Structure 1
């Protein structure tokens, strides 16, 4: 694919991915706000414990095979069916094992009411065995319009289901119904758009090839999900499910914002890099553009979220959820570093270097587990636990970036220089907007004023200093709209 054609395809794909993430984030925010007002923090804490097992299970089900399909230049319909049957077999075996283990899990955390909900929620694993193949096919073709339709439809439908069950007094079942229906609807809408259907075909030699690539991503995913889930499991056991609910909610919203801003860019970057993986210079240009563009959005978005956190939580969730504010603000710092983490990892996947991906995950998780153990068992403080994630995130930026100095010639210091303008501008804009919190304005007015001031200050100073990222975005917008750029 020629450079101009790849650029045009990548930009179109990014816009559809942005629409998908934006629509999903808006719907998710509205649903979570309503359900947070209908349900107690304890119920969100119980969900967080159950999702640990679901998320780890999803990693095992896909086994890195969906990424292997995206990365492979010669994947065929037979390959899609081969991978599907592998994933389905794993999902059924895993579901059976966790179905039997559900009473023991519930007893360990003293939440006997979670046995049946956990068993139902685990059906997500079987659905995702099919859904993962559909999403891989869409990503290979860079046709993210299809996932946009599926994701938004699923978000709206599952939101209606979840809120209806909550209003009927369903408690934890409302959260289970929302999670399961979201995956079911997404799978069905994608199935209506993606012509592929599984066939009775299994190619052992192709399965072995994909697994040789995918097992490293499986191990990496297990480390990541296990590490992320370990914090929830420890908090739920050492502290309480109510306190876990506050931490979980504090993480949920920055995570959703990160998925919107960075998540729209990185999947497109993976697919584009896989197409030109033999052109080292082209991959570096793609990586730089993805990192700079993502940081230009993510850094100010996270700092703005941290600035308005208290009035926003009070306004949307109510006074009962104010204890989650400090956690939300700290997670904003963690997710502000998301672009440099994900860009480097997507480059390795796109270049087929899952071996390096796994090595990085082992190093990062050893660091993270040491910090988590110290903050949990020595300090025994929730704030220290979340602060430990900030330390881990900072250290991980160096770990993730280090291999790409030799893989594509993109060194860590060069990456830091590329993201510095966005972080410095964001800090300046936040410093200008924060004093408004001292004015005594009503919550709604305060949130609006602080966001407006941050946006104007950020974009105004960026334009004044002729920041390259802003110029690129303006030229790209003009191109998309069909006008002539300078």
Structure 2
């Protein structure tokens, strides 16, 4: 991996450690004060905001990052398009809120959605700045913005929960995080819009982005179909337990995947016509990502029960089996993300849409079959669907750059095996005495992590060497040596 990609990955991982690590802690704090029902209401409302955010982006952000000769008119056009779409999205949210509340039989959802909907304006203003920084491979600025947003909004949300605001404290967290991050991004960026809109720019960028828009909308509907079904057929409490487990899983797996993707996508886009080099780089990214994500998901699964018993009230213990099963999905999801990223780098957003349609059809069938078996059955169906989705995901990677399913399995099997064994060891060590305490959990986590590194050395996991190489070539290493000196 070249230095630019490696440093970008490290800055994004630092962003993850600071921002998402803090977000996880604040989520746990909020869970201490709030009930599963409060999280359940937010879960029910989440789908409409995710749909709105996908609509606002319209795939134009990805198209602009990928463009090698973007003009000032391109940036202005994307900015004003995002703003116009955010207005339309909020009008739809405001008008549709009562209908959505009636669907779930939860009248309080009406005002929640109408207030939370303000976040679409904020996200529309900051999206273009994220594109600007991503094109410049400036992930340090994005780290500052996200970290400030998470800390300030987290403090406000926990304070609101302390004073009895209930579910509205989660609304404060959502709006506060987006607003603070947007303000910081604009203060750090030199880009400012001018009064121009190019129809030619819109048509050119949207020709690539339209498939990503449709795939994004379908992905959000599919992804939230689990919450929609659970919320419709089960109680708000069960929905909240599932949503909380998914939120913890996403804060780790999804954000780690995004951190590596955001750092690598702009650089790898410059190699879109060099298939041999592109395949080699993607194999390295795959190996690095699995080396980082697999052990974290395994440790979360192994330590989730004692952690929940120690940190949270008994009311949240029901989320433990959900989280443990979702960790299996989280450990495999980077494969899907990287294969889709490869198609985008090659400019084949049409294939992204086709693969997405096939995967979603299979998973929706599995979801409908699983409903009689409860939430556990639904998550097991997710795992099966995730496994089956590897076939269409890797088919086009093989066609485009000859990165086959067999090669990908070979690249991930060793870190997955080492991670599974380390997760089991962490669980055993933390629970062998039957007492749940911070030292016991800490010892389990330390031994699990050490065992993973030892197994990685024994099995010669490629990601370990790549991780060390990235660190040695980074600014972090030079700073470390200065401190040591």
Say whether the fold is shared (TM-score over 0.5).
yes
Q: How does 1:348-367 map to 2 (within 5 A)?
A: 348-367=343-362
- Which residue of structure 1 aligns with residue 445 of structure 2? 451
Q: Determine if the alignment matches structure 1 residue 21 to structure 2 residue 13.
A: no
- On the 8 A contact 1:273/1:283 being kept in 2, the answer is yes
Structure 1 position 380, deviation (Å): 4.6
1:429 aligns with 2:422: yes
What does 1:146-165 align with in structure 2 at a 5 Å threshold?
146-165=141-160
Q: Name the SS for the 1:265 alignment partner.
A: helix
CA distance in structure 2 between the partners assigned to 1:27 and 1:450 by the alignment: 22
Is the counterpart of residue 205 in structure 1 residue 200 in structure 2? yes
- Alpha carbons of 1:197 and 1:215: their partners in 2 closer, same or farther (altered >3 Å)? same
Instruction: Give 1:250's match in structure 2, choosing from 212, 226, 245.
Output: 245
- Larger mean CA deviation between 421-430 and 19-28 belongs to 421-430
Compute the displacement of 1:113 (Å): 1.6
Moved more, 282-291 or 108-117: 108-117
Contact 1:21 1:259 in 2 (8 A): no
Q: 1:418 corresponds to which residue?
A: 411
> What secondary structure sits across from 1:410 in the alignment?
coil
1:466–1:236: structure 2 CA closer, same or farther, 3 Å change rule? closer
Aligned to 2:385, which of 364, 372, 392? 392
Q: Give CA-to-partner distance per residue, 1:295-348, whole Å, 9 cap, x none.
A: 011111111111111001112222110000000001100000022111111111
Pair 1:57-2:52 in alignment: yes
Counterpart of 2:258 in 1: which secondary structure?
coil
Distance in 2 between residues matched to 1:216 and 1:348, nearest whole Å = 12
Residue 260 (structure 1) shift: 4.3
What residue number does 2:328 align with? Answer: 333
**CA distance in structure 2 between the aligned counterparts of 1:45 and 1:394, rounded to whole angstroms:** 28
Cα offsets for 1:205-251 (capped at 9, x unmatched): 11011111111001110111001111111111111111100001111
Q: 1:404 aligns with which of 397, 403, 406?
A: 397
Task: Work out the CA distance in 2 between the residues paired with 1:207 and 1:478.
Answer: 42
Alpha-carbon separation, structure 1, partners of 2:362 and 2:195: 45
| Corresponding residue for residue 107 of structure 1 | 102
What is the alpha-carbon distance in structure 1 between the residues aligned to residue 60 and residue 184 of structure 2? Answer: 22
Task: Calculate the TM-score normalised by the size of structure 1.
Answer: 0.95
The match for 1:167 among 162, 169, 178 is: 162
Deviation at 1:271, TM superposition (A): 1.1
Q: How far is the alpha carbon of 1:359 from its aligned partner?
A: 0.8
Query: In structure 2, how many angstroms separate the alpha carbons of the residues matched to 1:479 and 1:88?
Result: 40
Q: Please point out which of 457, 466, 471 is paired with 1:472.
A: 466
1:260-339 equivalence runs, <5 A: 260-339=255-334
Counterparts of 2:425 and 2:103 in 1: how far apart (Å)?
Answer: 48
Whole-angstrom CA distance in 2 between matches of 1:372 and 1:417: 30
Preserved contact between residue 16 and residue 145 of structure 1 (Cα < 8 Å) = yes
CA offset at residue 461 of structure 1? 2.1
How far off its partner does 1:263 sit?
2.5
Of 368, 382, 401, which aligns to 2:375? 382
Q: Which runs of 4+ in 1 moved over 6 A?
A: none
Which residue of structure 2 aligns with residue 3 of structure 1? Answer: none
CA distance in 1, matches of 2:319, 2:38: 15
- Alignment root-mean-square deviation, CA: 1.5
Unmatched 5+ stretches in structure 2: none
Q: Deviations over 1:159-195 (max 9, x none)?
A: 1121122122111211111101111111110001111
What do residues 11-57 of structure 1 show as CA deviations (whole Å, max 9, x unaligned)? 11111111111111221112111111111111100001111100011
Structure 1 residues without counterparts, runs of 5 or longer = 1-5
Q: What's 2:226 paired with?
A: 231
Structure 2 length-normalised TM: 0.95
